[in-house]
Chains A and B, each alone.
Chain A
Amino acid sequence: MSTAAATDIATMKKIASKARINTIKMLHEAGSGHPGGSLSAMDIMTVLMHRFMKHDPTNPRWEDRDRFVLSKGHCVPAWYCLLADAGYFPEEDLMTLRKLDSPLQGHPVNTAMDSMEACTGSLGQGLSIAIGMAMAAKLDGKPHKIYCMIGDGETQEGQIWEALLSAPKFKLDNLVVILDNNGGQIDGPVEEVMSLNPVVDKMNAFNWHVIDIDGHDYDQIIAALEEANGVKDQPIFIRAATVKGKGVSFMEAKIDWHGKAPSAEETEQALAELSA
């Protein structure tokens, strides 16, 4: 059994930086994958794992753990790196990403790896699964929380809006949804492809407890998740403004870096920046 360690911000930043480095390395080694959304999500994921989530690397299926459902499943490399760092599996395994017979599937698969909560990768489905998990926790009178991260492109899916409509009805104050609002998807900027805005107003109108933050500011991330812990009878929606490709200058806010692996030279440059 384990509880969330109160890791300080400086340490968390180091962990996130190392995980960014490993993300770049593993995507280069795999020859494919999604750097943009992995890097934009990293700071939030790091704070979740190291400040808020109760979890146990020696017992990934611990019944009372907090759950993290990565609905935007293509960004799982970021989470794999944090899991390896926390001791869920050996760091060498990261380099098997997307290779035959690896538990590190291209998208999360719970039957391939115990620390994956579900099968995501077809966008739009994870939030409903998270709602079901939050309902089950309520039924069982359990205090654990369900954290779910969704993409802004993903939020165009109809099923997301069905889920957003339903969680407030069930008063799921044990459900915290984080929108990784990095502004990019595959075919272009979210604003051009299919705008969500004004997304904060929409979520307020949908009866969520809405918190609007900068998803790379550790103080703001921590404050938002602390606020979430105090909310009663309403699900929590954190709109995190983020930068796609955060931490690697040539990837930042570039649509092109949604879903391709860095070359050897690009990897070298990225690692130099991230290690600086």
Chain B
Amino acid sequence: MAKASRLAFGEALAEVGAKNQNVVALDADLAKSTMSKIFADQFPERFFEMGIQEANMIGVAAGLALSGKVPFCCSFACFVTGRYDTIRISVAYPNANVRVIGTHAGIGIGEDGNSQMGLEDIGLMRGLPNMVVLQPADEVETKQMIEFLANRHEGPAYVRLTRQKLADVSPDGYQFKLGKSVVLRDGKDVTCFATGGTVQGAVAAAEELAGEGIDVRVVNLSSIKPIDADIIVKCAKETGKLFTVEDHNIIGGMGTAVAEVVTEKCPVPVFRWGLPDVFGESGSPEALYAKYQLDGPGIAAKIKEFLG
């Protein structure tokens, strides 16, 4: 059943919080939107409402982490990663166990417009040593990532979540592994790497193109850092061409990360798609995904443009 990854996150946080007493959560006046409220309602003594103070929240989370807690600090992706130097020095540098949660990623949030859209956050977080960067594609994957980060990971991590609902795409029995990606659909003509809000569109595009005789392999690239270099090299060798699509600026995002691997290990043509180095704008999520060609038909058209 389609579910927003922020909602899956809120539910997962409450689940891990019930078992792991070290899990704490902080929010900056967006608990009802990030869904940290689900945790707050069950564990009020382990939830800290910081008010509209993202920088202070991140610093406080660092202090909690350096004292043995596993803090999840939550806000919109743009606001939380906007406090870059605080994350850089208070969280990443001391390798503090802070989980930075950025919801409302991308133009998929719709009407609120650019000021509320996280569009450069992957690039920012990816550039920090120690920082893990994850973007789940559906409910199952979100829940597994949160369980992993709560119980089985040392060091800082950034998780990028959507406001909008995401269809279930993970295969049956899926197990999230840090630094691993999964093939959602096999194909031989081109590989489409998608992440987060664009995965469902990539799958739809592959189905559409199959009808035209174009065989698209789709990979859910949810572990953006560390990245699965093996699968990228394998796809480069087997399909010859790589296409990337994300609800993020094409500069610095997942596509850039893929291109870095490809240029060093297996040079083949790469076509990066996403926000073409522009800011977002207001509009309905559907209208924006159509305008910026991040929905199924848009992704299909871009893949065809790439294949020429």
Q: B42 interface residue, CB < 8 Å from A?
A: no
The one of A100, A123, A194 in contact with B49, judged by C-beta atoms closer than 8 angstroms, is A194
User: A161: nearest residue on chain B (CB-CB)?
Assistant: B53
Whether the pair A194, B282 counts as a contact (CB closer than 8 A) is no
User: B55: nearest residue on chain A (CB-CB)?
Assistant: A158
Residues in B neighbouring A135, C-beta threshold 8 A = none
The one of B31, B116, B291 in contact with A107, judged by C-beta atoms closer than 8 angstroms, is B116
Which stretch (B12-20, B107-115, B249-257, B258-266) binds chain A?
B107-115
Q: B52 interface residue, CB < 8 Å from A?
A: yes
Main secondary structure of the interface of A (DSSP, over half): loop
Whether the pair B282, A105 counts as a contact (CB closer than 8 A) is yes
Residues in A neighbouring B56, C-beta threshold 8 A = 158
Whether the pair B82, A187 counts as a contact (CB closer than 8 A) is no
Whether the pair A98, B53 counts as a contact (CB closer than 8 A) is no
Q: A35 interface residue, CB < 8 Å from B?
A: no
Residues in B neighbouring A106, C-beta threshold 8 A = 111-113, 115-116, 282
Whether the pair A187, B32 counts as a contact (CB closer than 8 A) is yes
Q: B281 interface residue, CB < 8 Å from A?
A: yes
User: B56: nearest residue on chain A (CB-CB)?
Assistant: A158
Q: A204 interface residue, CB < 8 Å from B?
A: no
The one of B52, B53, B116, B283 in contact with A99, judged by C-beta atoms closer than 8 angstroms, is B283
Shortest C-beta distance, A188 to chain B (Å), equals 8
Which positions 97-115 of chain A face chain B at CB distance < 8 Å? 98-102, 104-107, 109, 112
Given known contacts A187-B32, A194-B51, A121 and B116 CB-to-CB distance under 8 angstroms: yes
Shortest C-beta distance, A38 to chain B (Å), equals 14
Shortest C-beta distance, A125 to chain B (Å), equals 9
Residues in B neighbouring A99, C-beta threshold 8 A = 282-284, 287
Q: B50 interface residue, CB < 8 Å from A?
A: yes
Q: A180 interface residue, CB < 8 Å from B?
A: no
Contact with B along A155-170 (1 / 0, CB 8 A): 0111000000000000
User: A185: nearest residue on chain B (CB-CB)?
Assistant: B29
How far, in angstroms, from A86 to B146 measured CA to CA in the complex?
52
Shortest C-beta distance, B247 to chain A (Å), equals 16
Residues in A neighbouring B53, C-beta threshold 8 A = 156-158, 194
Given known contacts A98-B282, A122-B78, A153-B29, A105 and B51 CB-to-CB distance under 8 angstroms: no
Shortest C-beta distance, A141 to chain B (Å), equals 33
Whether the pair B29, A100 counts as a contact (CB closer than 8 A) is no
Q: B288 interface residue, CB < 8 Å from A?
A: yes
Residues in B neighbouring A121, C-beta threshold 8 A = 112-116
Residues in B neighbouring A22, C-beta threshold 8 A = none
Which positions 89-125 of chain B face chain A at CB distance < 8 Å? 110-116
The one of A31, A100, A122 in contact with B115, judged by C-beta atoms closer than 8 angstroms, is A122
Q: B33 interface residue, CB < 8 Å from A?
A: yes
Whether the pair B111, A30 counts as a contact (CB closer than 8 A) is yes
Q: B30 interface residue, CB < 8 Å from A?
A: yes
Contact with A along B8-40 (1 / 0, CB 8 A): 000000000000000000010111110000000
Query: By CB atoms of chain A within 10 A, which of B29, B31, B54, B82 has the most?
Result: B29
Q: A32 interface residue, CB < 8 Å from B?
A: yes
Q: B193 interface residue, CB < 8 Å from A?
A: no
Residues in B neighbouring A188, C-beta threshold 8 A = 49
User: B83: nearest residue on chain A (CB-CB)?
Assistant: A158
The one of B51, B78, B284 in contact with A156, judged by C-beta atoms closer than 8 angstroms, is B51
> What are 7 contact pairs spanning A and B, CB under 8 A?
A153-B52, A157-B54, A158-B53, A158-B55, A185-B29, A186-B33, A187-B27
Tell me the A residues contacting B by CB distance below 8 Å.
30-33, 73, 98-102, 104-107, 109, 112, 119-124, 153-154, 156-158, 185-188, 193-194
Tell me the B residues contacting A by CB distance below 8 Å.
27, 29-33, 49-56, 78-79, 82, 110-116, 281-284, 287-288, 291
Known: A107-B114, A121-B114. 16 other contacts (CB 8 A): A98-B111, A100-B283, A105-B282, A107-B115, A107-B116, A109-B114, A120-B115, A122-B116, A123-B52, A154-B52, A185-B29, A186-B33, A187-B49, A193-B29, A193-B49, A194-B52
